Structure 1
């Protein structure tokens, strides 16, 4: 029996359709990720599963006798409750069983010959063992250590914690309850990388059923074995983790596009054949034309798949050649007598891509502020390379006048014409009516994209990012990554997005206990080094990274990445030559097609010859269509380069 069953679920908000005829089951022990753009209906689905939202039609159920824990649901706790009190609520059933066993012990003392009391005691003891027995202190310590809930926090009043801290405590409580089904909405928010890794490993070994809404791709890879993608009010299913989903989704899109083009071409071909038969055919051919028209009427053409527009521009100053971009020597920084950074030393070379990592509170933000000049170090010096032009993209992007539309924002901020502003916005996926939105109407990810659009045309050579993918959906994360990939300069970033770190980092600066570990290599290599207990660090390469060298996207375990688009050589000159050749070939095929059509008219009384000519014309028209498609692709590429 399924732990979660959804049959023909339909949900409206007013007259707006959110979910339509959604059907799926989640079997015991499955770990399923729910993916989709922001606003697609993921959280709506979760709220329906928990019974907090009604739905218009269909059927939704949790398996009979199964208990469910919901991470996003924050119960009301007594005002004076401490964190420890909240955590121990997870053992309320164990407490009730122990109390009942104590009562039975007293009763058995009074009635030692009553076997029924012994049987009841044995049943209670079995249930207590299943709940972890008397190991509650060990279990609480284990979960608190994993989720980085320190002893001093456990003594605090729950009501005084921040929203992120409360979420973490509630997550710990639900884990300790050992429910049969976990329903998790962005459980990795407010967790640092080590805590997220612990949660992923915990869920990987969890024996119950898990349904997760998450934008953390590494986390999904780590603990999910199935993906349900919600889009356009419906859903698609993928039997694998995120890496499998990413490749398989692209394969399905390509397959759907081929079906669409084939069916469209076949429909046009049949329409042309029927028209010619009507105009020039015999009575026999007219009957065949009518039959073909009936066939056309029954045909359905597969919808053309939506294709996300890819970024085709690069930015940054490719001519900046200073080798040492940044030198940090003997930096120390304290707040209220507490040392945050101790004797920090490192230097960054031109075109390196450096991840600044560490647990929450380790000093990452403090170090960024020192590098940006927003704060001063207690001791030490920071030297910047000659001609260095840095740019900073913070977690929260602000604009001086959020009531301006996007076009006016670029006109005023960057002193460009309206047409230039439109073109630049289009390059960053702001098209049509979107360009007339006010900045205040944009999401956090869209504001980051707009700021990158502004930065793109500055001669900057050092880009500093603070959590660039935080709270973005998957599509927005992928787009931000494309923009970062397009940057031709030195990159320093703070991120908890392990997928992002693995894609870009060629070096890791890890802050721990106020000190810095400087690791040369990828993020996965850094994790391997830590797992082996540290030891000698890889030697740094004294040579700067070659100009325009960029790291490849991470290799996906067991799933080959989509093949990279081949780069053309020769620039616009060769493309223009190719266009001219294609235009000549297209003209020849059009002349050949027209000639065959004229021959078909002349052969209208000879049905055998007419059918032969029709076959030749069909082959000619297919070749013509292929050449036209090739011409469009080359013309588009030439336009982009120009």
Structure 2
């Protein structure tokens, strides 16, 4: 049964985001929506939800269709409400008054701890805020679920919980989910829509299989285009020869034949289509300056505690050597970010139990990109901090996906993906030999994640990092430290931790 259909759908915001989009959603479809940062995913979701009007084409919804849209950000008016009241306020007034039990059922289904019910949203973590947004949508019993980056700010346990929830509780509800988490997409989708400016592609496959099919489709189109181009060139060369012969001999037949060959070449070129070349959202490039030190960071049985002094874990004696890419593994709240910040403190102010080699040059980025002053402009960030002229700064920012029109605007005006790419440019220009990265893939599209993985590997970069993105961890890490009880232990790989998270 078809619940939603688009016909020749297009949206232009300054420039075209997408055109001639034709696809349908049926009961049981769980569709992954894939595109680079800034290419229209959120705009399409808003259009399907009915909050944005298309520039062209139509959206047809089944009669009485209840669309639930889980947005990325919490509306300002909800932040002062308790978690419970924020979900309750999604119900119509009369229903909220007599059927508040629906909220309890949904929060129980989503495994929200009862002690969080009365916490205000602005006091909760980003992960629990996202769970609240999902609960607000689910409590009204939608017939169609739209989700925009639902795994952002979730730890792995909650990501796996969301996977299982989509495959059980929400299994019969059509879902369209925009996400950059490749492992999550593979787990929850049975179709994949690659959103493009022209000729968007839809495959009845989960993400990784669909990506392979897309690459093969693009390669086949490129081969066909090259063959057609060669054929058209051959026809034009034949036409040129016949034209000369026809002119010299005065043969009208050869002149007519020449015209026919040219027309055939024109027709082939008009029908031929080059493979789609997606515009990059901005390059990510890193460096790894040299150091002769073997042990860059030494942890001498560091005690990692909460701000009020409660022990979270002890590190024992551990080293980070040149070329190590160490991944910290553990659920939210166990102290991963606390350790990252302690290492940062050791590198900037000193720490009695954490020693750094004198030649260590730090490159740091946290999950909130706090190294970027929201009131500054991208141009100011680059020119004030680094010895580059205005013209080079323009080129550097443009290559990172920050257009000239945005370079003089406050950083707060940038999208999450643009901020992440600016942060990566800031890291590169710092010329580090040790990276300290807390959730570096937040807001990065799949292209950006793959670029970051490739750069860390290509430069044999040394780093200590935290990430809940399983694909990124698998592709990047060379050593793995896992928080187990009150200890930090080294494990052979990340799979033990991933398997434990899945079984919880």
- TM-score when normalising by structure 2: 0.80
Contact 1:29 1:209 in 2 (8 A): yes
The one of 486, 489, 492 equivalent to 1:518 is 489
Task: Name the counterpart of 1:140.
Answer: 107
Contact 1:79 1:159 in 2 (8 A): yes
Correspondences of 1:3-22 after superposition (within 5 Å): 3-13=3-13, 16-22=15-21
Task: Name the counterpart of 1:448.
Answer: 423
Distance in 1 between residues matched to 2:403 and 2:12, nearest whole Å: 26
Distance in 1 between residues matched to 2:262 and 2:433, nearest whole Å: 62
Structure 1 SS opposite 2:296: strand
Distance in 2 between residues matched to 1:432 and 1:404, nearest whole Å: 8
Correspondences of 1:85-484 after superposition (within 5 Å): 85-87=85-87, 140-144=107-111, 149-157=112-120, 165-175=128-138, 178-205=141-168, 206-232=171-197, 234-281=199-246, 282=249, 283=251, 284-299=253-268, 300=270, 301-303=272-274, 305-306=276-277, 315-317=287-289, 320=292, 322=294, 324-335=295-306, 337-345=308-316, 346-373=318-345, 381-385=353-357, 387-395=359-367, 396=369, 397-398=371-372, 402-403=376-377, 405=379, 409=382, 415=387, 425=396, 429-430=399-400, 437-438=407-408, 440=410, 443-455=418-430, 458=431, 460-484=432-456
Structure 2 SS opposite 1:3: strand
Question: Structure 1 residues 151, 338: closer, same or farther in 2, change over 3 A?
Answer: farther
**Larger Rg belongs to:** 1
Question: Structure 1 residues 402, 265: closer, same or farther in 2, change over 3 A?
Answer: farther
Distance in 2 between residues matched to 1:216 and 1:337, nearest whole Å: 34
User: How far apart are residue 176 of structure 1 and its match?
Assistant: 5.1
Question: Structure 1 residues 483, 399: closer, same or farther in 2, change over 3 A?
Answer: farther
Question: Structure 1 residues 198, 519: closer, same or farther in 2, change over 3 A?
Answer: farther
Contact 1:49 1:61 in 2 (8 A): no
Which structure's relative contact order is higher, taking Cα pairs within 8 Å and 6+ residues apart? 2
Show CA shifts across 1:498-539 (max 9, x none): 2211211233323466x3442423323432366689xxxxxx
Whose helix fraction is larger, Structure 1's or Structure 2's? Answer: 1
Distance in 2 between residues matched to 1:368 and 1:80, nearest whole Å: 30
Number of positions where the alignment pairs a residue of Structure 1 with one of Structure 2: 485
Q: What is the CA RMSD across the aligned residues, in angstroms?
A: 4.3
Question: Structure 1 residues 308, 64: closer, same or farther in 2, change over 3 A?
Answer: closer
User: How far apart are residue 187 of structure 1 and its match?
Assistant: 1.4
Q: Which runs of 5+ in 1 are unaligned?
A: 100-133, 534-642
User: How far apart are residue 173 of structure 1 and its match?
Assistant: 4.0
- TM-score when normalising by structure 1: 0.65
